[in-house]
Amino acid sequence: MIVGAIGLVYAFMAAPDTIEDVKEMLADDSHQDSEEDAVLENDIHLANPEHVEGDHLIAEENEGAGAHAEDAAHDNEHYEHLLHQLQNKPWAAVYVAAFFFFMIALGTLAFYAIQQAAQAGWSPVLFRVMDGITAYLLPGSIIMFILLALSGMHLNHLFIWMDPEVVAHDELIQNKTAYLNVPFLLIRAAIYIAGWNIFRYLMRRNSLRLDEATDDRLHKTNFKLAAGFLVFFLISESMMSWDWIMSIDPHWFSTLFGWYVFSSMIVSAVTMIALVTIYLKSRGYLEYVNDSHIHDLAKFMFGFSIFWTYLWFSQFMLIWYSNIPEEVTYFITRIEDYTLPFFGMVVMNFVFPVLLLMNSDYKRLNLFVIMAGIIILCGHYLDIFVMIMPSAVGESWFIGIPEISALLMFTGLFVFIVFSGLTKAPLLPKRNPFIKESKHFHY
């Protein structure tokens, strides 16, 4: 079955708007570079209230208001600092949203590879849904690369170690320049991105060819590819999280950071798979998906939420207890300046999923899975927000128009690409050797 109508209708709806919005956002950002400290005022309309997918956003106006810079005569140094933070703010907002959706696509690819490598019998009916979500991997990772390259060209100050002046006065960063320098960062990023996308392309191509094939040879190839991808992924994902997130705060480090980002990634990915599956199912596609499949996805959501909390707490408690100055500053800024998002996300990512999804029967009810899923996705957006913002904008954070519009823009782009990706192939991988088992899967 080809997902026709819905995917395409709103593909056309979302496409021009998102691209316009990209331009709009970047235009706004370039205003920011002027001496004036412009506060963004984009008007966002959610034109399609029916469901989250159909978001359709228009950034209408932006006014520059030099509120802060005027007072700068007073205390130049302080305001310059503030100015830098506020100049960073829209960049960081775009960065957080871009990373969040990129992370979902990458996590989905990892989940897909796990299913392939484990020869799972329950999930093949969901493979094409996962393929659809990973369609965002290529654009998402290219956007990330562009953002990194722009930072490398000093268009913003997200990564303070990219600024030669800062490095000149900072011995700790000087010692790290062998690893933390712009060309090497970009080379590494290019390697990860190329690797992930090549694996994704090959697995997708084999999966499609398998539908037409007469033997199961390609299934074995995919099994090997998936296993190879997982090895490459775990190493590259860990390094990616150091490069792209941890290095924003170059003095601080945490040895389980890669795992921590991974847990956030995989739980958001599974949640997204569940939400897309339920949506498609409600539109009458995916006739073979039954509530046992949803139940299994919800189990993964539940389990990975607890896994995330475990890693979050392990990271927090060790640093809190040892109280070493260069480590503990990370949490001090977060707890003092970011009290609400910092603790709010723990409630959203742990308490809600645990209470909503603990009951076995609730895991089979679409309503509960959707509710928990939306809370988990918001919670993990906040998680990324709290990872990046404190080092990028310090205490002048606010979830305001730049953040929401960036989030909506990437939601639109993500949904457009994912659903047009879904339309490109039949939603049932018909020659997968496990497909019969998957169709009859019941708990």
Partner 1 sequence: MASKVIHAIYTDDDLLLQAVKQVRDARYNIAEIYTPFPVHGLDKAMGLESTRLAIASFIYGLIGFAVAIIMMNYMMIEDWPQDIGGKPSFSFIQNSPAFVPIIFELTVFFAAHLMVITFYMRSKLWPFKTAENPDVRTTDDHFLMEIDVSNHNVEELSKFLYNTGALEIKLIEN
- Cα(232)–Cα(192) distance, rounded to whole angstroms? 9
Nearer to partner 1, 175 or 360 (CB): 360
Map the footprint of partner 1 across residues 360-399, applying CB under 8 A.
360
Map the footprint of partner 1 across residues 304-323, applying CB under 8 A.
313, 316-317, 320-323
- Cα(304)–Cα(339) distance, rounded to whole angstroms? 24
CB of 296 to partner 1, least distance (A): 15
CB of 313 to partner 1, least distance (A): 6
Q: Residue 297 in contact with residue 277, Cβ under 8 Å?
A: yes
CB of 441 to partner 1, least distance (A): 12
Is 324 near partner 1 (CB under 8 A)?
no
Q: Residue 133 in contact with residue 432, Cβ under 8 Å?
A: no
In the shown chain, the binding pattern of residues 266 to 305 toward partner 1, with x for contact by CB under 8 A and - for none, equals: ----------------------------------------
In terms of Cα–Cα distance, which of 100, 132, 115, 112 is closest to 199? 112
CB of 434 to partner 1, least distance (A): 18
Nearer to partner 1, 232 or 368 (CB): 368
Nearer to partner 1, 211 or 291 (CB): 291
Nearer to partner 1, 282 or 360 (CB): 360
Nearer to partner 1, 179 or 310 (CB): 310
CB of 330 to partner 1, least distance (A): 15
In sequence order, which residues have a C-beta less than 8 Å from that of residue 410 and are 6 or more positions away?
A: 97, 98, 100, 101
Nearer to partner 1, 200 or 293 (CB): 293
DSSP 8-state assignment for residue 248: G
CB of 387 to partner 1, least distance (A): 19
Nearer to partner 1, 357 or 422 (CB): 357
The long-range contacts involving 39-45, CB below 8 angstroms and separated by at least 24 positions, are 39/64, 39/65, 39/67, 39/86, 40/90, 40/400, 40/401, 40/402, 40/405, 41/65, 41/401, 42/401, 42/402, 42/405, 44/401, 44/404, 44/405, 44/408
- Two structure tokens written together for 218: 């390609």
Exposure letters 139-170 (e unless 16+ CB within 10 A, then b): bbbebbbebbebbbeeebbbbbbbeeeebeeb
- Cα(56)–Cα(17) distance, rounded to whole angstroms? 6
CB of 298 to partner 1, least distance (A): 15
Nearer to partner 1, 34 or 360 (CB): 360
CB of 341 to partner 1, least distance (A): 19
Residue type, 276: V
DSSP assignment string, 260-293: HHHHHHHHHHHHHHHHHHHHHHHTT--TT--HHH
In sequence order, which residues have a C-beta less than 8 Å from that of residue 290 and are 6 or more positions away?
A: 441, 442
- Cα(288)–Cα(129) distance, rounded to whole angstroms? 13
Number of residues binding to partner 1, judged by CB under 8 A: 9
Out of 358, 395, 426, 440, the only residue in the binding site for partner 1 (CB under 8 A) is 358
Nearer to partner 1, 58 or 365 (CB): 365
Nearer to partner 1, 320 or 368 (CB): 320
CB of 358 to partner 1, least distance (A): 7
CB of 317 to partner 1, least distance (A): 5
Q: Is the dihedral of CA 343, 345, 351, 355 positive or negative?
A: positive
Question: Would you tell me which residues interact with partner 1 (CB under 8 A)?
Answer: 313, 316-317, 320-323, 358, 360
